[in-house]
Amino acid sequence: MGLMQQTKMMEGFPIPVWEWSRQLAEITHDYPHRVEDFAKSYSRNQFIAKTWMLEVLKVYADLDRTTKWWIMGSWYGSITVPTIRNTFKPTSKIHLLDFDKEALDIAKKLHGDYAISTHHIDVNWEMKRLSKLKADVWINTSCEHMYPLTEEFNPNGLCVFQSTNFAKDPSHINCCKDLDEFIEQCNFKEILYSGEKPFHDWDDIHKRFMVIGYK
């Protein structure tokens, strides 16, 4: 009798949650105070934001397995890391940058050292240094959580930025009133894509914005 094999549906599933049962048990045991926050990283809102980003990237950007990915304000990388790995199958590690060291420690437990490299960095104060790093894609789906990425952040790679006009969250310190304001804040020299989606199911006022291009 052979080893138990995955079903065809499992093979196409972007997030291999069946491989995470042990890691998830360890995280809930070692970081009980982070369980609620960790669960929020899998919200419907988060899924829509991250999968929208990757769907658009597949159309507008020429990316392959050699692409070097750097994610600012990465949090746990709960959705972004496995969906990038499933969609583009990168041969190098995905780099996660966050000021929250504990979130990065959890990310290492979740994804493994073979998949990611973590960097305990506060992006707000390291823009000039980050610009010098060799990266093909810079992802920041958390622009509302940090100061505007000023002219000091001037990387060579493709930039994928998201923000929102949902200012009721106290951690949203840098919201934009509309897509035009976010485009102005991004200050890209070349824009490949810009668009918006509803932020909630229950109103059409609050939006999530995305701009992809080069600074």
Residue 200 lies in a domain: yes
What pLDDT, on a 0 to 100 scale, did the predictor assign at position 94?
Answer: 96
Q: Is residue 22 part of a domain?
A: no
d(CA 13, CA 67) in angstroms, rounded, equals 22
Q: How many residues does the chain have?
A: 215
Residue 6 lies in a domain: no
The whole-chain average pLDDT of the chain stands at 87
In a domain, 104, yes or no: yes
pLDDT(79) > 50: yes
Identify the band that residue 4 occupies on the pLDDT scale cut at 50, 70 and 90.
low
Whether residue 29 lies inside any domain: the answer is no
Q: Using one digit for the tens of pLDDT, what is the confidence trace for 101-121?
A: 999 999 999 898 888 999 999
Please state whether the predicted TM-score (pTM) of the whole model is above 0.95. no
Range of the domain at 93: 43-214
Q: Is 7 domain-assigned?
A: no
**Residue, of 5 and 140, whose pLDDT is higher:** 140
Pick from 133, 156, 157: nearest CA to 67: 157
* Residue range 180-199: mean pLDDT, rounded: 93
User: What tens digit of pLDDT does each residue of 125-175 get?
Assistant: 888 888 888 899 999 999 888 888 877 788 889 999 999 887 777 877 788
- Looking at the DSSP bridge assignments, the partners of residue 213 are 159, 191
> Is the confidence at residue 11, as pLDDT, over 80?
no
pLDDT for the residue numbered 52: 93
pLDDT of 2 higher than 80:
no
> Does a structural domain hold residue 12?
no
Band of pLDDT at residue 72, cut at 50, 70 and 90:
very high
**What CATH code is carried by the domain that includes residue 206?**
3.40.50.150
Q: Would you state the pLDDT for residue 130?
A: 86
DSSP 144-162: GGS----TT---SSEEEEE
Domain count, the chain: 1
Burial group, residue 68, by CB count within 10 angstroms (0-12, 13-18, 19+): middle
Inside any domain, residue 124: yes
